[in-house]
Structure 1
Amino acid sequence: MKTTVVAGNPKPGSRTLDAATHLATELTGSAPDHVVDVITLGPGLLGWGDDAVKAAVDTVAASDLVVFASPTFKAAYTGILKLFLDQFATGDGLRDVTAVPLMLGAGPAHALAPDLLLKPVLVELGATTPAPGLYLLDSTYTTDTRIADYAQRWAPVLRSTLRTEAR
């Protein structure tokens, strides 16, 4: 199984990246195979044809399980993550990828954002999203049990959708 984390935070090495990496590790029992810290792709995200962006897109598309993570900005996921997701073909850009939407925020007001805002985009790109998205408080995700609880509940469901034999 090939696991990837995609973090769409405007700050490199962010808490968003940390939480997503922790979630991927809890879901699979090992560190992710690949990490895409989207902000490090720079201005190549603003167009098409950038080699680094294409390599990141190819890595994500070839993955079995991908945690897509964003902080909550203005009640939605970030523009930097949207720029990256726009690089995938509609309908089949994430075909055969099982995706987990993850968002972090300062308070519970946007707890439905992963399911209402991020999950539909991932489905539009062809991803399978059999579990609900996860929303974490950025101030407590390292001390509460939300990631472990989510992994215990949803890892079997996510594993059942993986098509590793096709890769």
Structure 2
Amino acid sequence: MTEPPVNQNSPIPRTGVVVGNPKPASRTFQAAVHVVEQLTGAAPELAIDLAAFASGLLDWSDPAVAAAVEAVRGLDLVVVASPTYKASYTGLLKVFLDRFPSNGLDSVVAVPLMLGAGPGHQLAPEVFLKPVLAELGALLPTRALYVLDGAHDDPASYEAWLASARTRIASAVSGVSGGA
């Protein structure tokens, strides 16, 4: 059963996903979209699949990347997702996050999400991705989410995290989007 949207009594929050998987339309992308849909009852308004930017991520004058950064800064809720590479998030995601200024995610509620092959890396999003988002000023009202890659399409893989995170995220999003 899908829970009601996070922001029932206020304007619909602007939501998005940023996915740092080098493979376009990856399982990581699908997982990030699923999390937004489960939290809000709707698909994300903005979906950034960093694989599509290729070498533009290394060109600091690339207008498409600059526009993507500004679009993310205008969100109320963003799921930032990566597969687990070498026990951390991808360099692709790091290069994109480096484009944000200090406190560039101020007032954006962020959910760090990582997929991995086994349970041995389940702390990676909490230990590596969440601190970077905090350094950028993102609001992080919940613990990070780790999902086994092979179970990315199993709703049961998300149930416990959603049950504990839904209320905190709803409250944080309501606060940043002007809700009561």
TM-score, normalised by the number of residues in structure 1: 0.95
Check the 8 A contact 2:151/2:157 in 1, yes or no: no
Q: How does 1:73-152 map to 2 (within 5 A)?
A: 73-90=85-102, 92-152=103-163
Aligned with 2:30 (options 18, 26, 36): 18
* 1:139 partner SS: helix
* 1:119 partner SS: helix
CA distance in 1, matches of 2:124, 2:107: 24
CA distance in 2, matches of 1:129, 1:60: 15
Check the 8 A contact 1:71/1:77 in 2, yes or no: yes
Check the 8 A contact 1:131/1:158 in 2, yes or no: yes
- Structure 1: unaligned runs, 5 residues or longer: none
Report the counterpart of residue 55 of structure 2 in structure 1.
Answer: 43
Cα distance, 1:29 vs structure 2? 1.0
CA distance in 2, matches of 1:35, 1:23: 13
Give per-residue Cα distances to partners, 1:58-84, cap 9 Å, x unaligned.
110000000000000000000000010
* 2:153 partner SS: coil
**Larger-Rg structure:** 2
* 1:165 partner SS: coil
Report the counterpart of residue 71 of structure 1 in structure 2.
Answer: 83
CA distance in 2, matches of 1:88, 1:25: 25
* 2:54 partner SS: helix
Cα distance, 1:129 vs structure 2? 0.6
TM-score, normalised by the number of residues in structure 2: 0.88
* 2:75 partner SS: coil
Report the counterpart of residue 67 of structure 2 in structure 1.
Answer: 55
Give the percent of matched residue pairs that are identical in Structure 1 and Structure 2.
50
Cα distance, 1:132 vs structure 2? 0.4
Question: Which aligned segments of 4 or more residues in structure 1 are displaced greater than 3 angstroms?
Answer: none
Check the 8 A contact 1:3/1:65 in 2, yes or no: yes
* 2:47 partner SS: strand
Report the counterpart of residue 9 of structure 2 in structure 1.
Answer: none
* 1:102 partner SS: strand
Check the 8 A contact 1:26/1:147 in 2, yes or no: no
Check the 8 A contact 2:21/2:28 in 1, yes or no: yes
Report the counterpart of residue 29 of structure 1 in structure 2.
Answer: 41
Check the 8 A contact 1:28/1:155 in 2, yes or no: no
CA distance in 1, matches of 2:120, 2:155: 18
Cα distance, 1:144 vs structure 2? 4.9
Letter in 2 for 1:131: T
- Structure 2: unaligned runs, 5 residues or longer: 1-12
Cα distance, 1:39 vs structure 2? 1.2
